Amino acid sequence: MTDPLSFLLGALLAAALAVAAIWLMRGRGRNEPDRLEGEFARLAGLQAELAGRLSAMAEQQAQAQGELARTLNERLDQVGHRVGTSLEESSAKTVETLGNLAARLAVIDEAQKNITELSGQVVGLQDILANRQARGAFGEVQLQDIVRNALPPSAYMFQATLKGGSRADCLIHLPNPPGSIAIDAKFPLDAYHLLRNAKDDGERTVAQRQFRGDLLKHVVAIAEKYIVPGETAESALMFLPSEAVYAELHANFPDVVTKSYQARVWIVSPTTLMATLNTVRAVLKDVEMRKQAGVIQKYVGLLLKDVERLDDRVENLEKHFQSAEKDIREIRTSTDQITKRGEKIHDVELGEADAQAALAPAAPRVERDLLTSE
Looking at residue 285, its amino acid is K
pLDDT digits (tens, 9 = 90+) for 245-262: 888 888 888 888 888 888
pLDDT at 18 over 70: no
pLDDT at 350 over 60: no
Report domain 131-291's class: alpha beta
- Helix H or strand E segment including 158: strand 156-161
Q: What is the mean pLDDT of residues 88-104?
A: 83
Q: Cis bond leading into 178, ω under 30°?
A: yes
User: Taking Cα atoms as reference points, which of 267, 264, 242 lies closest to residue 254?
Assistant: 267
Answer yes or no: pTM beyond 0.95. Answer: no
Average pLDDT, the chain: 76
Q: What is the pLDDT of residue 374?
A: 44
Task: Tell me the sheet residues that pair with 88.
Answer: none
Q: What is the pLDDT of residue 196?
A: 79
- Res. 358 pLDDT band, cuts 50 70 90: very low
Helix axis angle for 4-28 and 33-130, nearest 10°, is: 160
Q: What is the pLDDT of residue 359?
A: 46
Contact 189, 173 (CB under 8 A): no
Q: How many helices (H) and strands (E) in the chain?
A: 11, 5
Contact 222, 235 (CB under 8 A): no
pLDDT at 168 over 50: yes
Round to whole Å and give the CA distance between 320 and 328: 12
- Res. 344 pLDDT band, cuts 50 70 90: confident
pLDDT digits (tens, 9 = 90+) for 268-320: 888 888 888 888 888 888 777 777 777 777 888 888 888 888 888 888 888 88
Contact 225, 166 (CB under 8 A): yes
- Res. 31 pLDDT band, cuts 50 70 90: very low
Contact 303, 331 (CB under 8 A): no
pLDDT at 217 over 60: yes
Q: Which of 46-60, 109-123, 221-235 has maximum average pLDDT? A: 221-235
Round to whole Å and give the CA distance between 129 and 241: 11
pLDDT at 189 over 80: no
Higher pLDDT, 151 or 125: 151
pLDDT at 354 over 80: no
Q: What is the pLDDT of residue 57?
A: 79
Contact 157, 255 (CB under 8 A): no
User: Taking Cα atoms as reference points, which of 45, 3, 55, 2 lies closest to residue 20?
Assistant: 45
pLDDT digits (tens, 9 = 90+) for 102-138: 888 888 888 887 887 776 655 444 544 445 554 556 6
- Res. 27 pLDDT band, cuts 50 70 90: low
Contact 236, 276 (CB under 8 A): no
pLDDT at 30 over 80: no
Lowest mean pLDDT among 241-245, 300-304, 352-356: 352-356
Q: What is the pLDDT of residue 40?
A: 67
Cα-based angle 254, 258, 264 (whole degrees, multiple of 5):
145
Contact 231, 190 (CB under 8 A): no
